[in-house]
Chains A and B, each alone.
Chain A
Amino acid sequence: MPDQAPINIGDAALIEQCQRGDTSAMERLILKYQSRLYNVILRICSNPDDAAELTQETFVKVIENIGNFQGKSSFYTWAFRIAVNLTINYCRRSSRLGLKSLDFDESGDQATGALREYLRNDKSPDPASIAQNRELCNLVVQSIAKLDDDHRTILVLRDIEGMSYSQIAQVLELELGTVRSRISRARSKFKDILETIIE
C-alpha cells in the first residue's frame, strides 16, 4: 500500500473554524494540504509555475466555497476534486492553444541505461535509490506527461498521492469499475511509453 494515506484527523474542527471566519484555521488547512495538492497538480500539468498558480486557485476556491461544504463527502476528496478539475481544464485549454510541448528533452544515455536495467532486470535495484537519479526522474516525469489527461490524472492520484480506488472514484466522479479499468490501462500505456524510450 502507498505510504501516504490521507489524514483526516482534525479536518472537521478546522473546517468548522474556517466557516466561522478563523483565518488561522484557514492557514492551518492550507499548510496541511499544500504540499500534497501542489505535487498532484504539478505531476498533472508538468509545469512548476502553473502548478503554483493552480494550487493558489484551488485554495481560493476552497475558501470561497467552504461555507457551502456540508461534509457529505470528505474534505480531502472535495479539495482534490476542485484541484483536479481546475488542472484538467487548464491542461485542455493549454493543449488547444498549443502551449504544451510533448517532446522529450535530451535525456542522457546514463538515464536511459538505468531505466533499461530497472525494467529488464528481474531483481530491480531499490526504487528509492533510482529516484535519486535526477535524469532518470526527469525521464519518468516526461513519460507521465506523455499520457493523455485522463490516464495521467488517475496514475498521479493512485501512485503519487496514494488514493484508494473509492477516493479516486469520488474525486473524478466515476464508477468504481471505471476507476479499476482506467488504472489498468494507464499503467499499461505508461509502461509502453517507458519501453519506447529504452528501445
Chain B
Amino acid sequence: MKAEQPDMNEMLNAYMDGELATRQTVEFKRLLENSSELAGELRALEGVRNLVHHLPREESPVELFQQVRSMLERKALFGEGDEEGRSNKHLGTILYQKIRAVAAILALGSVLGWLVYSIVAPVDSGTSGLFAGSDVSLVAPIQGPMRGKLELVCVAMTSVDNFLMRSIQFNDLSSCVQKEELVDRRLYHVSCHREDMKHLLSDLNSVWHQFEKTAFYVNTDKLGEMIRINDASVSQVANLINEQDAQKRVEHARLESVRNSMATSLDLDRGMASSEDDATPSSMPPRPMLTSGEPNRTLANKSPDPADRVELTIVLRQSSM
C-alpha cells in the first residue's frame, strides 16, 4: 500500500507520535504488518524525526534573570516597548536618533548614580539603585518568611550534591526541599523552619572549604532588591538566617556585604572578612547532624510563626575550571 492518500501520511505521522486513538493504533499496526512499503515509509519518517529530535541543546544565556530584571526596569523608567524598539532599530529617523540620544544621556546618568550608590551601599547590581531610589513597583512588596539565595561554586559538584542530599535526609528535610538538576548546577529550593535550616548549614560547614566561591543573597522588603554578600562564610549565613527582625537582618546584611567587599579589595584572607567571632551559639548548632550521626531532636519544638520560616534557594554550581 502506498502512503500517498492525504490521510495516510497524517495517520503515519500521528501513529509515530503516539497520537492515534487505541482502536486506530491497533488497526494501523495491522496495516503495517501487511505492508512492507508502509513500514519502510514509517522507518524513513522516524529517521527524519530523529535527526531533528537529537539536535544538541544549546546553553541558554547566563544571568537571564538579571537581564530580565534590567529590562523591566528600563521599561518602567523609559516606557521602552520591546517590539517597537526592535522595529525602530531599522527606521533610522532623525527624531528617533534624538530620542535615543536623550535616553542614552538619561541612562548614563542612571548608571553613574547607581555606581555611586553601589559604592555607598553595595546591594545586588540587578536592582539596587533603580528600584531603591524610585517608586517603581511592579508588584507588592515581599513579606513573611526570610527569603534568600545561597550560591556555592565548587569543582566536585557531584560529591557535594550527594553530601547535601544525605544531609537533607538525615535532618528529615526531604519534604521541605524541591530539587532541580541542570547540566552544570543543582538547585535546592528549601522551605523550612529556621532551626532546621541551621542543621543543614551545620552540615554544609564541613564541606564549606570545597567552595571556590560563595555568595549569599538576602531579599529585602522592596521588590527585586537583594543584598549580595560575596565570599560569605557559613557563620555569616547562619547569623543572618537566625536574625528574626527583618529590618535588622537587612541592616546586618548590608554591613556584612561592605565588610566582605572591603576585605576583597584589601586582598585580605576570607577568614578575616567573615564574622566567625560573631557566630553565637544560638546561630549555629554545636555539632553537624550528618557527620555526628545524631538524630535531629529539635523537630518537636518549633514555632508555627511564618516569620520563623526560611525560604532559601541553594544553587550548587560546577566550577568552570
Contacts and interface: CB of A to CB of B under 8 A. Distances in A.
Is chain B a partner of chain A in the same complex?
Answer: yes
A23 B142 contact: yes
Contacts of A153: none
A177 B14 CA distance: 11
A24 B149 contact: yes
A35 B57 contact: yes
Interface residues of B, number: 60
Contacts of B18: 1
Contacts of B141: 21
A39 B87 CA distance: 23
Contacts of B61: 34, 38, 52, 55-56
A21 B13 contact: no
Query: Interface majority SS on A: helix, strand, loop or mixed?
Result: helix
A64 B138 CA distance: 8
B64 A30 contact: yes
B32 interface: no
B120 interface: no
A95 interface: no
A191 B82 CA distance: 36
A141 B55 contact: yes
A170 B93 CA distance: 39
Contacts of B140: 20-21
A44 interface: no
B180 interface: yes
Nearest to B76: A64
A91 to B, nearest CB: 12
A60 B76 CA distance: 11
Contacts of A48: 58
Interface of A: 1-2, 10, 18-24, 26-28, 30-32, 34-35, 37-39, 42-43, 48, 52, 55-57, 59-61, 63-64, 67, 86, 89-90, 93, 97, 118-119, 122, 124, 127-128, 130-132, 137, 140-141, 144, 155-156, 158-160, 162, 164-165, 180-181, 183-184, 187-188, 190-191, 194
18 contacts: A20-B139, A20-B142, A28-B313, A31-B187, A39-B57, A56-B61, A59-B64, A60-B72, A86-B82, A90-B86, A119-B44, A124-B47, A127-B54, A140-B52, A140-B55, A158-B17, A165-B19, A180-B10
Interface of B: 6, 9-10, 12-14, 17-19, 40, 43-45, 47-61, 64-65, 67-69, 71-72, 75, 82-83, 86-87, 90, 138-142, 147-149, 178, 180, 182, 187, 189, 219, 223-224, 226, 311, 313
